[in-house]
Amino acid sequence: MPIVVRIDVELARRKMSVGEFAERVGITPANVAVLKNGRAKAVRLTTLDRMCEVLQCQPGDLLEWVPEGDDVGARA
């Protein structure tokens, strides 16, 4: 999928656990994993808003467009 969710990068910068993040955002840790692993097909804007509020970041800090065929691992 050309949209990559970079939650792990922002969590690491803030030394915040997935469990704490999930609780503060109001989603399950399993749904955080779905986002992190690229399996999500959509994100509600209200959820994105809450993620940005919790992490004190912009949506562009969490989402990145990567052209099809690019090696995503090389960009992390």
The whole-model pTM stands at: 0.83
Instruction: State residue 73's pLDDT score.
Output: 53
d(CA 41, CA 35): 9
State pLDDT tens for residues 1-59. Answer: 589 999 999 999 999 999 999 999 999 999 999 999 989 999 999 999 999 999 999 99
pLDDT of 70 above 70? no
pLDDT of 2 = 84
Query: What's the burial of 15, exposed, middle or buried (CB within 10 Å: 0-12/13-18/19+)?
Result: exposed
Q: What pLDDT is attached to residue 69?
A: 78
